[in-house]
Structure 1
Amino acid sequence: MAAHKTTALPLALAYAALILYASLYPFADWRDQGIAPWAYLAAPWPKYWTGFDFAINIAGYVPLGFLAALTVLRTRAAANGARAVLRATLAGAAISFAMETLQSYLPARIPSNVDFGFNTAGTLLGAVLAVGLERMGAIAHWHRTRSNWFVEDARGALVLLALWPVALLFPAAVTFGLGQVFERLETAISELLLDTPFIDWMPLRQFELQPLVPGVELLCVMLGALVPCLLGFMVTRSAVRRAMLLPLTLLVGIAASALSAALSYGPPHAWSWLSLPVQIGIVAAGCVGIVLLGAPRRLCGGLLLLALVLHLSLLNQAPESAYFAQTLATWEQGRFIRFNGLAQWLGWLWPFATLGYALVALSRRTRQS
């Protein structure tokens, strides 16, 4: 029997990348301590520990175990529950062992056999949960629901939609403004080429980046909210299902933005970003989405490309404000130091990955037609 294409596989790989970032960030000052990197396995029980630390180590690997076991169940017809749990647990244990071992070379991190054990236990718990849901029929029900809602080759779009709210968690200068990379990219290239002959090859910008006026900010918010909706429209089977997907997508984006603000400025400021231009932009995105409920999927793909290009063009003509830079410093140097790396990269790259997906999907349909 042919392997079933499941969204669990790319999601498991994406989550493994998140674990890698959280475990090894900031990827700096590698050194050899002169001892075996796996010496931590024989270390005694740590003197200082909290229940929160143990809970985080378990909870952090539960999704990996769940997605890994689900991948085995959905891609291998002969795999039973025990085999799926075993393979998922071994994969999680191998990843945890690799991360803890590599932490031996990072001065900012401390490898721990306790972390390794609880990470493995979390993977096992997630895998057992996946198998239990499979035996209760919940996974099969999801598969039927997905087949009824989405076209056959919707895996890439669903993965991007699942990653969108995660990308929104990293603070953005403009609400839903993912992909604002021009200023940072320009600075990074200039620093890289400094004191080299190639610095003279760097084109000089002929204008200063100007803050977005409220009208342009409104347009950016509308386009940023509309992009995931159009992405969903590309793979949704009917207008009725699009009508349900549209408000759900907008609500998820609003919730992720509120959570980002709460993490950045504190819970009392969770809704401080919801200014008048942002409110009008969200409503405008909903209105445009309603107009496009019955549009052909190919047209939605074309409009998605147009919206992305316009959104990125407008967004990257604006600088990051000093207040926003202070917010980033809170994330990059404070309590979010283990998480900010991946979230930041997701915020930068998500629009470009969506752009690539839309181009490939439209070119594939052109060849098939």
Structure 2
Amino acid sequence: MPPRHRSSAAPLAWLYAALIVYASLSPFTGWKQPAGVPLFGFGHMPWQPYWTWFDVVSNLLGYVPLGALLFGAQVRSGRSVGWSALNAVMAGALLSLCMESLQNWLPRRVPSVADWLLNSGGMVLGVLIAMAVRALGGVDRWQVLRDRWFIHRSAGGIALLLLWPVGLLFPTAVPFGLGQGVLRLREAAAGWLEGTPWASWVTEGLHADELLTPLSRGSEWLAIVLGFLAPTFVAFSIMRPGWRRLAHVPAALALGLAATTLSTAMNFGPQHAWAWVTPAVVPALVVASVVALALAFAPPRGVAAFGLVALTMLVALVNQAPTDPYYAESLQAWEQGRFIRFHGIAQWVGWLWPFAGLIYLLARVVARDEAS
């Protein structure tokens, strides 16, 4: 039997499946029971009535990562290659069948057999890619690299590090300021509780953000520092002290700059790709890099404790920042444009990443010391 490993592919697969559900059923409004349509079926249209190449490519490629992640997670857990491939394809095809069937209840979505076939084909393609990578020794090389760079039981932390640049792709009110989702959560809760005795619990002060003043230069600077240090604390809590941490700092800085610049370019055009670099950004990133380098030899548990404080302060700061008109315009572009089926990935990752980081760092603080 192949050796069992706790793989970061497992949490990533669950997260990606949840995001597929979100993208398939968004905006979750207008539900109504279809007439004469079975619960599991594609409606009265056997094929897509109209299509574009964007639809074909997105339906095919959208399920490729899920196929690769599911296959990798099962192989790493000790299952055979054949069973892992079969289970991954069947799970993805069943998920797509459920999504296409539920779209019968949404007037704004069009279920189609063609979409299901493309989704299933994407699962097969993802599994084949993962099998090829495994056959070429990619999985074994990754295990050796992981053992050299990270401590044991680091799968959750690695998953968080991989998701950090994804969260930066969604526009943020403050550069590197992930976690600004408390207001949206309260608005959603207010809608759910409307007409109940508990509605006042969440509606009181709900629109107080309209009275908020922009963050001061110092507050903005601190938010940027904490935003960059957040993934550093997660990384250092699972990395061995020493030169590997020193190498992580410039790599994380380059990745953060690239993701934020790409997000700005997608929303405001390539000519404004560096518009996010405010006067507070460069000094904040310099200070954050110096702090990160100073912690390169700190014990992992101590770094995790610092990270708990930093992430708590980050969430508090970014949720005090009002949304300016340009930020609101960028959100509208994401939510009404071609990104409507994919913006939820970066949006939810950006909102939830700090909270997931808090939970993970708390677990690292209370965990037993790992062997050297």
TM-score (norm 2): 0.90
Stretch of structure 1 that moved more, 135-144 or 331-340: 331-340
**1:39–1:235 CA distance, 2 compared to 1 (3 A):** closer
Q: 2:13 is matched with which residue?
A: 12
CA distance in 2, matches of 1:344, 1:140: 33
Q: Contact (CA 8 Å) 1:93, 1:119: kept in 2 or not?
A: yes
**1:45–1:111 CA distance, 2 compared to 1 (3 A):** closer
Q: Partner amino acid for 2:58?
A: I
Q: Contact (CA 8 Å) 2:48, 2:113: kept in 1 or not?
A: no
Unmatched 5+ stretches in structure 1: none
Q: 2:272 is matched with which residue?
A: 269
Q: 2:242 is matched with which residue?
A: 239
Find 2:56's aligned residue among 54, 57, 74.
Answer: 54
Give how far 1:331 is off.
1.7
Q: Contact (CA 8 Å) 1:65, 1:124: kept in 2 or not?
A: yes
Q: Contact (CA 8 Å) 1:183, 1:319: kept in 2 or not?
A: no
Q: 1:142 is matched with which residue?
A: 142
Stretch of structure 1 that moved more, 11-20 or 202-211: 202-211
Q: 1:328 is matched with which residue?
A: 331
1:104-115 correspondence runs (5 A): 104-115=104-115
Stretch of structure 1 that moved more, 181-190 or 94-103: 181-190
**Corresponding residue SS for 1:336:** helix
Task: State the Cα deviation string for residues 205-230 of structure 1 (Å, max 9, x = none).
Answer: 99942211222211110110011011
Q: Contact (CA 8 Å) 2:170, 2:343: kept in 1 or not?
A: yes
Correspondence 1:318 to 2:310 = no
CA distance in 2, matches of 1:24, 1:168: 23
Correspondence 1:291 to 2:294 = yes
Give how far 1:196 is off.
5.5
**Corresponding residue SS for 2:63:** helix
Stretch of structure 1 that moved more, 322-331 or 66-75: 322-331
**Corresponding residue SS for 1:365:** coil
Q: What is the RMSD of the two structures over their aligned residues, measured on CA atoms?
A: 2.5
Q: 1:209 is matched with which residue?
A: 212
**1:201–1:74 CA distance, 2 compared to 1 (3 A):** closer
Q: Contact (CA 8 Å) 1:262, 1:269: kept in 2 or not?
A: yes
Q: Contact (CA 8 Å) 2:152, 2:370: kept in 1 or not?
A: no
Q: Partner amino acid for 2:129?
A: L
Correspondence 1:3 to 2:4 = yes
Find 1:338's aligned residue among 336, 341, 348.
Answer: 341
Task: State the Cα deviation string for residues 285-327 of structure 1 (Å, max 9, x = none).
Answer: 1111111111111121111112112222222233222332222
CA distance in 1, matches of 2:181, 2:53: 39
Q: 1:131 is matched with which residue?
A: 131
Identity %: 43
Q: Partner amino acid for 1:133?
A: V
Task: State the Cα deviation string for residues 109-136 of structure 1 (Å, max 9, x = none).
Answer: 1111111111111111110111111111
Give how far 1:186 is off.
5.1
Q: Partner amino acid for 2:7?
A: T
Correspondence 1:281 to 2:287 = no
Q: Partner amino acid for 1:30?
A: W
Correspondence 1:23 to 2:24 = yes
CA distance in 2, matches of 1:129, 1:65: 9
Unmatched 5+ stretches in structure 2: none
1:151-190 correspondence runs (5 A): 151-185=151-185
CA distance in 1, matches of 2:181, 2:22: 20
Q: Partner amino acid for 1:28?
A: T
Stretch of structure 1 that moved more, 27-36 or 47-56: 47-56
CA distance in 1, matches of 2:55, 2:201: 50
Give how far 1:39 is off.
4.2
TM-score (norm 1): 0.91
Q: Contact (CA 8 Å) 2:92, 2:123: kept in 1 or not?
A: yes
Give how far 1:330 is off.
1.8
CA distance in 1, matches of 2:78, 2:361: 29
CA distance in 2, matches of 1:331, 1:166: 15
Correspondence 1:219 to 2:231 = no
Q: Partner amino acid for 1:150?
A: F
1:330-369 correspondence runs (5 A): 330-365=333-368
Q: Contact (CA 8 Å) 2:180, 2:351: kept in 1 or not?
A: yes
Give how far 1:12 is off.
0.9
**1:36–1:260 CA distance, 2 compared to 1 (3 A):** same
Stretch of structure 1 that moved more, 86-95 or 202-211: 202-211
**1:356–1:133 CA distance, 2 compared to 1 (3 A):** same
Q: Contact (CA 8 Å) 1:100, 1:112: kept in 2 or not?
A: yes
Q: Partner amino acid for 1:72?
A: Q
Q: Partner amino acid for 1:175?
A: P
CA distance in 2, matches of 1:189, 1:133: 44
Q: Partner amino acid for 2:134?
A: E
Q: Contact (CA 8 Å) 1:212, 1:318: kept in 2 or not?
A: yes
CA distance in 2, matches of 1:185, 1:44: 38
Q: Partner amino acid for 1:21?
A: Y
CA distance in 2, matches of 1:342, 1:250: 22
Stretch of structure 1 that moved more, 334-343 or 148-157: 334-343
